[in-house]
């Protein structure tokens, strides 16, 4: 479920807030002379919302005028589905399509920009490094203001990375690794500071867990994150429960943000309802605060103008749309974003991998045997029912979960392409494709477990201690 209370009664006839806020977004983008592609995307969505409005009410939308009859449009806010098909927000990801969420539509709906070949080439030019496979294969598919980050970087202006994890259990799944693997590549490539927020407070507010458990999970998850290979001299990992109390500067930013977001706005963005606890309503400001460099005076020496870049999956975007809306009003630069697609559940791309369903996920704690069994038993196949049919008609890699997983983890582009062709032609059988995946995942997870074993309590403490990093600001 989303944060909204489904049992809350509908309000009296209201204008759909998503339409109003989209109109406001278009006006803001135009006044701020945003890039044309962003304005065009926002206008396109506005037109679509107007068309939807007309379809439901039978009337043209007029700003400020409620519909004549008591027609109530469900206001799901911009985070949720407009077309009744794909649902994407920080708590839910689902679609009816076996190929997964329609990410091109999502770009239009969320008003972000596509990571196109031109941007990938530019990242290669500016960094002098071969783009990560997640960029080459469209896994990080959407962005906000990435060109601005690169413009500044070319003029020797540094930036920093911010990402995070909501520690809801001890075990993380492979999907959670995606942003961290990519963040590590960005840190190595651009040689910049990184802050990682562990929202143990968020999980306490949303789940039936004790504060102690949430904090313990934060520390346990930090070990998995550290095992991704981050450099302790360039990385600060923090638990909200610890850092909120320890850093006056961080908390000052939280209240500034809270002062500039109304209850109506968070309701519109996150779908909060009357019976959601007030902690949830105030929480988005806490996820927003690390986007501003003066939340970390020990790293940035009080500077508030260091640009932030946030790599995450697209489900977290609602938080950062809110953050970007607030930033200029409190005198800070807007954070830039790079969004990834979702690593799908074993059962198919209709939903993302979820920690609450053991059979939907490969966990970082799984043994080689468990990995083999899960893939063989649960990975949705795009193959045909019999070997004869498969050889004759070929399989469908676009809906095949094993193939999808290989696009995330098999490094070699040529090998991946050959697997796609062979599977589509019928030369490669489902069992053989699954074996390729098992052979890729088993050593990857075992190596992760080995690295995690090397992470000591002292190392965790060091990563999680507020301190200067190896950068001069
Ligand atoms: P959480 O713990 O749900 O997810 C952690 C990170 O993993 C991404 N993610 C996925 N990526 C690909 N495929 C999946 N199946 C998948 N599932 C999750 C999420 O987008 C996220 O990047 N509230 C946040 C914690 C947070 C945060 C942040 C995340 C705080 N500050 C800044 C990103 C950036 C949360 O609960 O994430």
Domain spans in the chain, listed from the N-terminal domain onward: 1-72, 105-345, 348-453
Predicted local confidence at residue 72, as pLDDT? 27
**CA dist., res. 236 & res. 181, Å (int):** 16
Average pLDDT over residues 397-406: 97
**CA dist., res. 156 & res. 162, Å (int):** 20
Tens-digit pLDDT profile for residues 420-471: 999 999 999 999 999 999 999 999 999 999 999 999 999 999 999 999 999 9
Taking Cα atoms as reference points, which of 352, 353, 339 lies closest to residue 107? 339
Residue 31 predicted with pLDDT over 80: no
Give the tokens for residue 165: 């994890």
Confidence of residue 179 (pLDDT cuts 50, 70, 90): very high
Which atom from ligand 1 is nearest to the alpha carbon of 344? Answer: 15
Q: For the chain, how long is the longest CA-to-CA vector?
A: 68
Decide whether any atom of ligand 1 lies within 6 Å of the 343 Cβ. Answer: yes
Instruction: Label residues 232-268 b or e (16+ Cβ within 10 Å = b).
Output: eebbbbbbbbbbeeebebbbebbebbbebbeeebbbb
Select the more confidently predicted residue: 92 or 430.
430
What fold is seen in the domain 1-72? Answer: Helix Hairpins (1.10.287)
* Helix (H/G/I), strand (E/B), else coil: 413: helix
End-to-end CA gap in the chain: 43
Predicted local confidence at residue 77, as pLDDT? 41
Which residues, listed in sequence order, are joined to residue 93 by a DSSP beta bridge?
88
Predicted local confidence at residue 98, as pLDDT? 82
Instruction: Write down the pTM of the prediction.
Output: 0.84
Taking Cα atoms as reference points, which of 210, 179, 206 lies closest to residue 352? 179
Q: What's the 219 CA to ligand 1 centre distance in angstroms? A: 16
Beta strands in 202-335 (DSSP E): 235-239, 307-313
Q: What's the 169 CA to ligand 1 centre distance in angstroms? A: 13
* Helix (H/G/I), strand (E/B), else coil: 164: strand
Q: Please state the φ and ψ torsions of residue 41, each to the nearest 5 degrees.
A: -65, -40
The CATH number, out of the four listed (3.40.50.620, 3.30.465.10, 2.60.40.10, 3.65.10.10), of the domain defined by the range 105-345:
3.40.50.620
Predicted local confidence at residue 331, as pLDDT? 97
Decide whether any atom of ligand 1 lies within 6 Å of the 100 Cβ. Answer: no
Give the tokens for residue 348: 């198919």
Q: What's the 166 CA to ligand 1 centre distance in angstroms? A: 7
Q: To which residue do tokens 């932030």 refer?
A: 308
Decide whether any atom of ligand 1 lies within 6 Å of the 163 Cβ. Answer: yes
Q: To which residue do tokens 């190595």 refer?
A: 188
What is the sign, positive or negative, of the torsion defined by CA atoms of 318, 321, 325, 330? positive
Alpha carbon 76 to its chain's center: 19
How many residues are listed for the chain in this entry? 473
Which residues, listed in sequence order, are joined to residue 160 by a DSSP beta bridge?
308
* Helix (H/G/I), strand (E/B), else coil: 11: coil
Taking Cα atoms as reference points, which of 379, 409, 400 lies closest to residue 174? 409
Which atom from ligand 1 is nearest to the alpha carbon of 342? Answer: 13
Among protein residues, the one with the nearest Cα to ligand 1's atom 30 is 164
Decide whether any atom of ligand 1 lies within 6 Å of the 239 Cβ. Answer: no
Predicted local confidence at residue 406, as pLDDT? 98
Confidence of residue 108 (pLDDT cuts 50, 70, 90): very high
Decide whether any atom of ligand 1 lies within 6 Å of the 175 Cβ. Answer: yes
Which CATH code is given to the segment(s) 348-453? 1.10.240.10
On average, the pLDDT of the chain sits at: 88
HEC readout, 65-123: CCCCCCCCCCCCCCCCCCCCCCEEECCEEECCCCCCCCHHHHHHHHCCEECCHHHHHHH
Q: HSE of 293 in the Cβ direction (CA atoms, 13 Å)? A: 25
Which H or E run contains 186?
Answer: helix 174-190
- For residue 152, give Cα distances in angstroms to 146, 161, 223, 246, 352: 10, 15, 33, 32, 35
Tell me whether strands 159-165 and 194-198 are parallel, antiparallel or unpaired.
Answer: parallel
Q: Please state the φ and ψ torsions of residue 350, each to the nearest 5 degrees.
A: -65, -20
Which residues, listed in sequence order, are joined to residue 338 by a DSSP beta bridge?
143, 311
* Helix (H/G/I), strand (E/B), else coil: 324: helix
Taking the CA atoms of residue 284, residue 287, residue 292 and residue 297 in that order, the dihedral angle to the nearest 10 degrees is 130
Taking Cα atoms as reference points, which of 98, 174, 93 lies closest to residue 349? 98
**CA dist., res. 296 & res. 302, Å (int):** 7
Taking the CA atoms of residue 105, residue 39, residue 268 and residue 341 in that order, the dihedral angle to the nearest 10 degrees is 40
Decide whether any atom of ligand 1 lies within 6 Å of the 360 Cβ. Answer: no
Decide whether any atom of ligand 1 lies within 6 Å of the 182 Cβ. Answer: no
What is the sign, positive or negative, of the torsion defined by CA atoms of 44, 50, 52, 54? negative
Residue 33 predicted with pLDDT over 90: no
Taking the CA atoms of residue 180, residue 184, residue 187 and residue 193 in that order, the dihedral angle to the nearest 10 degrees is 50
State which of 2, 140, 164 you would mutate to test the pocket of ligand 1, scoring each by most atoms of that ligand within 8 A of its C-beta.
Answer: 164
**CA dist., res. 164 & res. 166, Å (int):** 7
**CA dist., res. 451 & res. 377, Å (int):** 28
State which of 138, 165, 308 you would mutate to test the pocket of ligand 1, scoring each by most atoms of that ligand within 8 A of its C-beta.
Answer: 165
Confidence of residue 53 (pLDDT cuts 50, 70, 90): low
Decide whether any atom of ligand 1 lies within 6 Å of the 340 Cβ. Answer: yes
């Amino acid at each position: 479920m989303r944060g909204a209370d489904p049992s809350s009664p509908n309000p009296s006839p209201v204008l759909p807030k998503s339409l109003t806020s989209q109109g406001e977004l278009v006006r803001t983008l135009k006044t701020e002379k945003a890039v044309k592609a962003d304005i065009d995307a926002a206008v396109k969505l506005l037109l679509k919302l107007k068309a939807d409005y007309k379809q439901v009410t039978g009337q043209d939308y007029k700003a400020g005028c409620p519909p004549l009859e008591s027609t109530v449009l469900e206001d799901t806010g911009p985070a949720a589905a407009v077309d009744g098909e794909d649902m994407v927000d920080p708590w839910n990801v689902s679609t009816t399509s076996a190929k997964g969420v329609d990410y091109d539509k999502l770009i239009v709906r969320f008003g972000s920009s596509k990571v196109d070949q031109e941007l990938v080439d530019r990242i290669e030019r500016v960094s002098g490094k071969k783009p990560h496979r997640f960029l080459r294969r469209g896994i990080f598919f959407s962005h906000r203001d990435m060109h601005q980050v690169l413009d500044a970087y070319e003029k020797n202006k540094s930036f920093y990375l911010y990402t995070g994890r909501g520690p809801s259990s001890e075990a993380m799944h492979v999907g959670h690794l995606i942003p961290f693997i990519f963040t590590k590549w960005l840190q190595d490539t651009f040689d910049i500071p990184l802050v990682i927020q562990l929202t143990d407070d968020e999980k306490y507010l949303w789940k039936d867990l004790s504060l102690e458990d949430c904090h313990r999970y934060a520390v346990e998850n930090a070990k998995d994150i550290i095992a991704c290979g981050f450099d302790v001299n360039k990385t600060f990992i923090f638990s909200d429960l610890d850092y909120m109390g320890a850093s006056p500067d961080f908390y000052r930013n939280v209240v500034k943000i809270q002062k500039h977001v109304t209850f109506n706005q968070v309701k519109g963005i996150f779908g909060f309802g009357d019976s959601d606890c007030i902690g949830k309503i105030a929480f988005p400001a806490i996820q927003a605060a690390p986007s501003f460099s003066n939340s970390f005076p020990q790293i940035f020496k009080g500077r508030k103008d260091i640009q932030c870049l946030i790599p995450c999956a697209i489900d977290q975007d609602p938080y950062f749309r809110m953050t970007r809306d607030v930033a200029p009003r409190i005198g800070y630069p807007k954070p830039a974003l790079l969004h990834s697609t979702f690593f799908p559940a074993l059962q198919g791309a209709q939903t993302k991998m979820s920690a609450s369903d053991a059979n939907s996920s490969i966990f970082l704690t799984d043994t080689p045997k468990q990995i083999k069994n899960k893939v063989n038993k649960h990975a949705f196949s795009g193959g045909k029912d019999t070997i004869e049919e498969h050889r004759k008609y070929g399989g469908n890699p676009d809906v095949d979960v094993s193939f999808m997983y290989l696009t995330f983890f098999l490094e070699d582009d040529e090998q991946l392409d050959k697997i796609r062709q062979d599977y589509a032609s019928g030369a490669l059988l489902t069992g053989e494709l699954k074996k390729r995946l098992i052979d890729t995942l088993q050593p990857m997870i075992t190596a992760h477990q080995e690295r995690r074993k090397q992470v000591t309590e002292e190392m965790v403490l060091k990563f999680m201690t507020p301190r200067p990093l190896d950068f001069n600001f």
